[in-house]
Structure 1
Amino acid sequence: MVTSAAGLLVRLVAALCFFQYVQAKTVTYDFNVTWVTANPDGLYDRKVVGINGQWPLPVIEVDKGDQLVVNMHNGLGDKRASIHFHGMFQNGTNEMDGPSMVTQCPVSPGSSITYNFTVNQNGTYWYHCHTDYCYPDGYRQALIVHDKDAYFNDMYDEEYAITMSDWYHEMIEDITFIDKSNPTGAEPIPNAFLFNDTLNSSLSVEPGKTYLLRLINVGAFVAQYFYIEDHTFKIVEIDGVYTDATEASILYISVAQRYSVLVTMKNSTEKNYPIVTVADSQLLDTIPSDLRLNHTNWLEYNKTAAHPQATITVADASDLIPFDDMSLVPHDRMELLPEADLVIDLTVYMENLDNGADYALLNNISYTRPKVPTLFTVMSAGELATNSEVYGDYTHPMVLGHNQVVEIILNNGDGGSHPFHLHGHNFQLINRAPAYGEHFYDYADGDPVAYDPSNHTAFPKYPARRDTFVLPPQGYFVIRFVADNPGVWFFHCHIDWHLQQGLGMTLIEAPLQIQERLTIPQNHYDVCEASGVQSKGNAAGNTVDYLDLSGQNKQVAWLPAGFTAKGIVAMVFSCVSAFLGMAFISVYGASGIKMANKKRKTEKAAAEGSASTDS
């Protein structure tokens, strides 16, 4: 009888597994990436990155458990490209993560690449270019993973995916940024802010229904506040992590962050209600007179009713008190991870380097691309893959042990905020100061306040988890995660301008396990060959001696401290020039005095002669 019951259980489990297998499907997208023309704000026609001749780009939609295949052909003609599936863990498929020179070579014009991985996650994500800082040129869109088992499925009737973003009229390559003419590193000011890649749009809703709104900031720079007039909502997801349904009225959504919220409609069709987005003006060095920071879109109950503008003014924006994401409780009740096996202590700095331009650094390193993608170095380095030296001095490499508990302390020595994203993981939010809300900018005008591990507030029992977390101005945050996903993972600020300046580092997680578990497809090696990028060797491209980094790409040199030999020579020549100049002035001045004296004597003699003749 026991044997019979056990056999029945085995058959039942097998049947369930088979059912899940047949339910999963392969979802394939064929993307031909080309230039198209768009004018989303109605102010300026410009080139944008389109897919299959269209912009906005297609939303990728899959069910949890599906196999996602994206065949991308680069038809841009003059730009390299890639795709990063933001928030996807890529467990076992690190080569599909997408950041160029981290896990793959850039895809050159005329080349193609295939991304192929199983989506064993749920929630709200997005995809974007991760090569040469090209996603602000339009190469970004939502990626939605539907989950038939989501705990809130029976709590809503319909759903909308909503993107918000900043928008530039100029091509990113044409904007002067890292240059001695911009020594303060002032970020370029956007020309507009978009809602679903347009302005003045409406979401059609029905009275009494509840809607799931998936909110995604796909911008390159500016965080935005979000609220709906005369409505509250319940947060049920952040960055792919389900949370206990928590009521809120205002959200602060940095670039790369996502929220899913439930909003129940009123039982009336008399009015339409403004959906309000307000750009965080604290991030902007200047605010042009023609830049609109607040925008109104609508919950449209009635097409024929008025569509009123929101009543907020720019001056009110700093008074908006957003919900604190650290207070959210994950629905799975994952507890605080134990004390860390490895603590990575970092500080953000912004510094002028030797060329006079402003750069971003973590500790003393401004991320600089290697000559070989770091994952390919792992795959070709053998046992030396556990030695961080092979990955170069300027990729800021950190080797993590398999299944270590890792804690990252990130202090901010800069007066701006920074949304940091970790590839391959979400992480627990265990400490941050100052908190969201009215105190978020408290440290901005004083001295930086660093995290003190011996004196901090209590960590939460069930910390919120997400993959993008905002570092407050001159404050800090502390996060934890388990290194249970062998791969090369980028940790970087998601303000694209700051990534250009070097605000990132590389985590090489369990490199020997990467070698055992990973197979890079031939198609990806072909991409390297077509782009002229080495697919073997250390960060300098050396395949003979992996510890010889001669010729590696280097960050710009530091400004000289005191007088260097070059400085002394320059000073000597400056002094010699000064003395020669003074001598020249003296001689020229003296000769001028002599000539003036001689002239006066001549005039005096002539005058005396004239007087003698008259007498």
Structure 2
Amino acid sequence: MSCPGTYLYHAHYGMQREAGLYGSIRVSLPDGESEPFWYDYDKSIILADWYHASTYEQAAGLSSIPFVFVGEPQSILIQGKGRFDCNAPGIQAGLCNATNPECTPYALTVIPRKTYRLRIGSLTALSALSFEIEGHNMTVVEVDGHYVEPFVVKNLFIYSGCLFTVPLVEGRVRHYKWEVKYEFKSPDCYKKLAITINGRTPGPSIIAQQGDTIIVELKNSLITENVAVHWHGIRQVGTPWFDGSEGVTQCPILPGDSFVYKFVVDRPGTYLYHAHYGMQREAGLYGSIRVSLPDGESEPFWYDYDRSIILADWYHASTYEQAAGLSSIPFVWVREPQSILIQGKGRFDCNAPGIQAGLCNATNPECTPYALTVIPQKIYRLRIGSLTALSALSFEIEGHNMTVVEADAIFNYYPNHPRRNPPTVPPPGPRWNDTEPRLAQSIAMKSHKGYIHPPPQTSDRVIVMLNTQNLINGNVRWSINNISYNLPHTPYLIALKYNLTHAFDPSPPPDGYNFVNYDIYSVAKNVNATTSTGIYRLKFNTTVDIILQNANIRTPNNSETHPWHLHGHDFWVVGYGKGKFDKTKDPKNYNLVNPIRKNTVAVHPYGWTALRFRADNPGVWAFHCHIESHFFMGMGVVFEEGIEKLGSLPTSIMGCGDTKGFHRP
């Protein structure tokens, strides 16, 4: 045969295929060559349906007058094995024997941590099937004997005659038991209430391998406060209900209650987790996730040791005080943080004027500066993540270059030139406030050769989002196209799945704004700005362009940087620009050859950023500014796609709004 791949053979006379005359063909590459994906073992699985009537009876019915259709099959076979109910009424004695070894269900015995190439083909006579492997996502790498751009599915919809190859790792189940509660901590030497996980902030790191199932049993011991945890960067293919977005995908976890998150980490890389309720992330509820490749595989770069470093900012005011200020009249801004934390450690000046005696102790071991002890000549992989509530940081390791090889769990992020900064403290001034270097760095980053996944060359829908700061009913709010986002009482995922259409505003937000007349350099007037719970409904499996446009805030001559994060997806960053986006000219300059893929991206002051993504992950997904106070003030939207493709929702995510009667522990 001229091409390697997966093929089938079957009868082509009358209806004999239906009677069992079929099988599989596997064609490998010549010795010394290898497929573009790794596997340890190779298995074929043929799906078929099975009728108890003979093909003679069926053929007679199909050609008779009156016409007699074959009807539904009596069984579905996996590799020639199925199970019919021998106790069904009307079964003739002696014809059905449930103990017959010929109908023992097919089982594939696997070795943990090994990768199995599953060649899945359908030779059904009638049925279109939905194939799923419980607890696993499937990455399709071959279709009908041809290698394809890998794509991930939870359910494989497979029609007769179709073939798919899925490399699958039998992962471990990694079980974590967490208790979330308030404790007095001094991460920067100043004593205040922090939210901890098992007594720690940052919380415990989740360390796993690709294909592992993560189970986190979380008990909320905050006494008077709800909680929810988002798994930042995990796409939750097939498990959108465990994304952890309160009001979007789940009801919050009530005080005293426990909740179990269960999901598969289907890709290697660096991820984060953090609170997604109110402003709890800022109080210390966050941590890191490290997912390595399966045994025998390696990243496209070498290292001896692996370390995670989370950067955060730290306020001495409680989240209650800050939330009250943000939602009060007159408005009270959170201002600059008191400290910057590196892996939960910082240093506040305990001699600063106005510090109450006993609250700040510079000798407290909790605020001992973070130090990474290294072995000379060894290479350390530093997974550096930021979960600041407000701050955009400039991170430097004195006397070292830094070569970026991964961002947002994707090995395609490669600046043109790593730089070495002078080993001296730079003078105060423009270096820290000038946004030009940030924009230049963003534009310079392209996909690394060998990890280029070009985006679709055209889009099906374009949504331009104008970020403005508005006064709505006396409150300062952030708005997108004059709409400030509010969470509904009933989470969108549940409301949409069970057709609770009254649970949120059915009117979608606008796809754009007045391009011609809007002046992004002036203070927004926007007297018609309002709040809404409306969402964007995206057609499943279409390509969507999002253009994020920054403008002046309510203070003259002031525009801000906003890091936007998309749940459930990666996107291609196809363009950046200064000034107002020109919908006619600017798309002609998009990078559609080697753009980076990310899940979080910055929009620079008085500038725009263009994103492109596929709406191919059934569920409901938040898209919002990752600055804690901005999201609290309404700077976000929600996308729905393919909700009809989801099965039943777990009742554990319910219990609020219109779902109070649905909840089951």
Aligned partner of 1:612 in structure 2 is: none
Q: In 2 relative to 1, CA 344–8 (structure 1 residues): closer, same or farther, beyond 3 Å?
A: closer
Aligned partner of 2:276 in structure 1 is: 130
Deviation of the 1:420 alpha carbon: 0.6
Residue by residue over 1:138-176, the C-alpha shift from the partner in whole angstroms, topping out at 9 and shown as x without a partner, is 101111111247653661111211111110111111125
1:578-589 residue pairs with structure 2 within 5 A? none
Among 177, 188, 193, the residue aligned to 1:47: 193
Q: Does 1:13 align with 2:128?
A: no
1:236-255 residue pairs with structure 2 within 5 A? 236-243=405-412, 246=415, 248-249=417-418
Q: Does 1:146 align with 2:270?
A: no
Deviation of the 1:536 alpha carbon: 8.1
Query: Does the residue aligned with 1:198 lie in a helix, a strand or coil?
Result: coil
Q: In 2 relative to 1, CA 451–70 (structure 1 residues): closer, same or farther, beyond 3 Å?
A: farther
Aligned partner of 2:233 in structure 1 is: 87
Paired residues of 1:412 and 1:450 also in contact (CA < 8 A): no
Paired residues of 2:508 and 2:535 also in contact (CA < 8 A): no
Aligned partner of 1:206 in structure 2 is: 375
Aligned partner of 1:361 in structure 2 is: 479
Q: In 2 relative to 1, CA 484–490 (structure 1 residues): closer, same or farther, beyond 3 Å?
A: same
Aligned partner of 1:421 in structure 2 is: 565
Aligned partner of 2:627 in structure 1 is: 495
Paired residues of 1:177 and 1:188 also in contact (CA < 8 A): no
Q: Does 1:345 align with 2:464?
A: yes
What is the alpha-carbon root mean square deviation over aligned residues?
3.3
Paired residues of 1:385 and 1:512 also in contact (CA < 8 A): no
Query: Does the residue aligned with 2:485 lie in a helix, a strand or coil?
Result: coil
Among 156, 172, 182, the residue aligned to 1:25: 172
Deviation of the 1:105 alpha carbon: 0.5
Aligned partner of 2:521 in structure 1 is: none
Among 188, 196, 213, the residue aligned to 2:343: 196
Q: Separation in 2 of the partners of 1:456 and 1:344? A: 13
Q: In 2 relative to 1, CA 405–150 (structure 1 residues): closer, same or farther, beyond 3 Å?
A: farther
Aligned partner of 1:469 in structure 2 is: 601
Deviation of the 1:450 alpha carbon: 3.0
Q: In 2 relative to 1, CA 24–456 (structure 1 residues): closer, same or farther, beyond 3 Å?
A: closer
Question: Which amino acid is the alignment partner of residue 223 of structure 1?
Answer: A
Residue by residue over 1:518-576, the C-alpha shift from the partner in whole angstroms, topping out at 9 and shown as x without a partner, is 33223223xx1xxx532289xxxxxxxxxxxxxxxxxxxxxxxxxxxxxxxxxxxxxxx
Query: Does the residue aligned with 2:497 lie in a helix, a strand or coil?
Result: helix
Aligned partner of 2:543 in structure 1 is: 405
Aligned partner of 2:397 in structure 1 is: 228
Q: Does 1:380 align with 2:512?
A: no
Q: In 2 relative to 1, CA 25–180 (structure 1 residues): closer, same or farther, beyond 3 Å?
A: closer
Q: Separation in 2 of the partners of 1:142 and 1:364? A: 35
Q: Separation in 2 of the partners of 1:150 and 1:429? A: 28
Q: Does 1:504 align with 2:643?
A: no
Q: In 2 relative to 1, CA 34–180 (structure 1 residues): closer, same or farther, beyond 3 Å?
A: closer
Q: In 2 relative to 1, CA 37–250 (structure 1 residues): closer, same or farther, beyond 3 Å?
A: farther
Aligned partner of 1:56 in structure 2 is: 202
Query: Does the residue aligned with 1:237 lie in a helix, a strand or coil?
Result: coil
Aligned partner of 1:592 in structure 2 is: none
Question: Which amino acid is the alignment partner of residue 389 of structure 2?
Answer: A
Paired residues of 1:26 and 1:66 also in contact (CA < 8 A): yes
Aligned partner of 2:652 in structure 1 is: 523
Q: Separation in 1 of the partners of 2:301 and 2:575? A: 34
Task: Report the more deviating stretch, 323-332 or 61-70.
Answer: 323-332
Deviation of the 1:429 alpha carbon: 0.3
Q: Separation in 2 of the partners of 1:333 and 1:232? A: 24
Q: Separation in 2 of the partners of 1:203 and 1:159? A: 11
1:92-107 residue pairs with structure 2 within 5 A? 92-107=238-253
Paired residues of 1:129 and 1:135 also in contact (CA < 8 A): yes
Runs of at least 5 residues in structure 1 that lack an aligned partner in the other structure: 252-273, 277-308, 435-447, 538-615
Q: Separation in 1 of the partners of 2:201 and 2:417? A: 33
Aligned partner of 2:386 in structure 1 is: 217
1:265-284 residue pairs with structure 2 within 5 A? none
Deviation of the 1:132 alpha carbon: 1.6
Aligned partner of 1:452 in structure 2 is: 583
Runs of at least 5 residues in structure 2 that lack an aligned partner in the other structure: 2-6, 10-22, 29-38, 45-107, 116-167, 347-368, 510-529, 553-558
Q: Separation in 2 of the partners of 1:384 and 1:14? A: 49
Question: Which amino acid is the alignment partner of residue 309 of structure 2?
Answer: I
Residue by residue over 1:490-510, the C-alpha shift from the partner in whole angstroms, topping out at 9 and shown as x without a partner, is 011010110111001110112
Question: Which amino acid is the alignment partner of residue 456 of structure 2?
Answer: L
Query: Does the residue aligned with 2:637 lie in a helix, a strand or coil?
Result: strand
Q: In 2 relative to 1, CA 492–120 (structure 1 residues): closer, same or farther, beyond 3 Å?
A: same
Question: Which amino acid is the alignment partner of residue 652 of structure 2?
Answer: N
Q: Does 1:118 align with 2:245?
A: no
Question: Which amino acid is the alignment partner of residue 173 of structure 2?
Answer: T
Q: In 2 relative to 1, CA 348–321 (structure 1 residues): closer, same or farther, beyond 3 Å?
A: closer
Query: Does the residue aligned with 2:629 lie in a helix, a strand or coil?
Result: helix
Aligned partner of 2:311 in structure 1 is: 164
Q: Separation in 2 of the partners of 1:519 and 1:75? A: 29
Query: Does the residue aligned with 1:407 lie in a helix, a strand or coil?
Result: strand
Question: Which amino acid is the alignment partner of residue 453 of structure 1?
Answer: T
Aligned partner of 1:573 in structure 2 is: none
Paired residues of 1:169 and 1:191 also in contact (CA < 8 A): yes
**Higher-RCO chain (CA-CA 8 Å, sequence separation at least 6):** 1
Paired residues of 1:407 and 1:481 also in contact (CA < 8 A): yes
Q: Separation in 2 of the partners of 1:60 and 1:107? A: 21
Aligned partner of 1:73 in structure 2 is: 219
Between the aligned residues of both structures, percent identity stands at 28
Residue by residue over 1:402-453, the C-alpha shift from the partner in whole angstroms, topping out at 9 and shown as x without a partner, is 100001111112311111111000100011123xxxxxxxxxxxxx523433
Q: Separation in 2 of the partners of 1:457 and 1:520? A: 43
Deviation of the 1:372 alpha carbon: 1.0
Question: Which amino acid is the alignment partner of residue 481 of structure 1?
Answer: F
1:510-589 residue pairs with structure 2 within 5 A? 510-513=642-645, 517-525=646-654, 528=655, 532-535=656-659
Paired residues of 1:227 and 1:250 also in contact (CA < 8 A): no
When normalised by structure 1's length, the TM-score is: 0.68
Query: Does the residue aligned with 1:375 lie in a helix, a strand or coil?
Result: helix
Deviation of the 1:56 alpha carbon: 3.2
Deviation of the 1:321 alpha carbon: 3.6
Q: Separation in 2 of the partners of 1:17 and 1:470? A: 47
Q: In 2 relative to 1, CA 406–384 (structure 1 residues): closer, same or farther, beyond 3 Å?
A: farther
Q: In 2 relative to 1, CA 458–139 (structure 1 residues): closer, same or farther, beyond 3 Å?
A: same
Question: Which amino acid is the alignment partner of residue 534 of structure 1?
Answer: D
Query: Does the residue aligned with 1:226 lie in a helix, a strand or coil?
Result: coil
Looking at secondary structure, tell me which structure has more helix per residue.
1
When normalised by structure 2's length, the TM-score is: 0.64
Q: Separation in 1 of the partners of 2:560 and 2:418? A: 25
Based on CA coordinates, which of the two structures has the bigger radius of gyration? 1
Question: Which amino acid is the alignment partner of residue 42 of structure 2?
Answer: V
Q: Separation in 2 of the partners of 1:193 and 1:205? A: 23
Query: Does the residue aligned with 1:469 lie in a helix, a strand or coil?
Result: strand
Aligned partner of 2:326 in structure 1 is: 178
Q: Separation in 2 of the partners of 1:510 and 1:429? A: 23
Paired residues of 1:233 and 1:247 also in contact (CA < 8 A): no
Residue by residue over 1:248-287, the C-alpha shift from the partner in whole angstroms, topping out at 9 and shown as x without a partner, is 4469xxxxxxxxxxxxxxxxxxxxxx9x9xxxxxxxxxxx
Paired residues of 1:157 and 1:210 also in contact (CA < 8 A): yes
Aligned partner of 2:575 in structure 1 is: 431
Q: Separation in 2 of the partners of 1:313 and 1:487? A: 49
